[in-house]
Structure 1
């Protein structure tokens, strides 16, 4: 049995010598990998006794076992991108979708508390003027939090809302660090905007 890592489109062998199994395809008499994974080759029981007529095909079978991608897990200091699920007067709940530019395979929840929204004038922060449900935010993990959620912060300039929709359904355009404007109605909406890179 071999355990070579293969990529899609890699030629694995001839159909005259091998059988194609899961994760492979045949083209012009050759077997190719159709997915990223580990190449596995199994000899059929009849390969040892090729004269045995009970098994019509004594060729070994090739298949590619899909490689499991490592899931991204938030750590303290990680930059995450998430969607605001709900808000109240004390915090915004966020569904974390990406960790350090890698998509999450599991569901992680984060909380942006009122004291972690911005670095200055913390006493004047109002959650409903910083985030709305449906906003996409960039934040940093500041603590592993409790069993239910990670604690997130948007207190740096490059952190905050990166994508939001207006009440008219248009994508809002940031006009300052705390306001965005609807290009259709020109209405101003409050958000804690992330400074573009």
Structure 2
């Protein structure tokens, strides 16, 4: 085995990386008692000790996955594309977390009760969103079936971009309507308030 050779395996936070009697905790690892654990998701690597080092234990480290990009967390703002609208919820694909684009596919669900803050029982999902709409939403929690629960129940949340039947990008004209600049047709939406 060459000095620079490393062994790699995928680990997630809390995975046991080794024992402190044999290894030192490096980047992305922490020591608890005599056990070394991963502190992030990534690749476990064992780095041999430097020949001149007094401590001849190898170092175990975790190199994070840059390719994974940001991951939605409760409280984070996301941009999502609506994929399907049903009677009680809308399904969406999360495109960005904050200003950063995601690298993996994350599914989101906007439930009827999370569309707006008032008159929740009067919300009509088909009058709030259409497939293809781009929405700004807040992540409430990791819901069921590996989809995040999203909320548009604040003024600044909701549809930020939508395409009309004519294929034009519509402009918001009120909190509940967007208009096609070509045909002047209006369509109902839960519009995100722009600016202050």
TM-score for both structures, normalised by structure 2 = 0.65
Q: 2:147 aligns with which of 143, 146, 149?
A: 149
CA RMSD of aligned residues (A): 1.6
Q: Does 1:119 align with 2:117?
A: yes
Q: Distance in 1 between matches of 2:120 and 2:126?
A: 14
Q: Distance in 2 between matches of 1:147 and 1:128?
A: 23
Q: Distance in 2 between matches of 1:120 and 1:140?
A: 17
- Equivalent residue number for residue 133 of structure 1: 131
Contact 2:136 2:159 in 1 (8 A): yes
Q: Which runs of 5+ in 1 are unaligned?
A: 3-66
Q: Does 1:98 align with 2:96?
A: yes
1:20-35 matches, cutoff 5 A: none
Tell me the CA shift for residue 147 of structure 1.
3.4
Tell me the CA shift for residue 148 of structure 1.
2.2
Q: Distance in 2 between matches of 1:124 and 1:107?
A: 31
Q: Distance in 2 between matches of 1:147 and 1:100?
A: 23
1:2-151 matches, cutoff 5 A: 68-69=66-67, 71-151=69-149
SS at match of 2:74: coil
Structure of larger gyration radius: 1
Q: Which runs of 5+ in 2 are unaligned?
A: 5-64
Q: Distance in 2 between matches of 1:181 and 1:144?
A: 34
Q: Distance in 2 between matches of 1:126 and 1:68?
A: 40
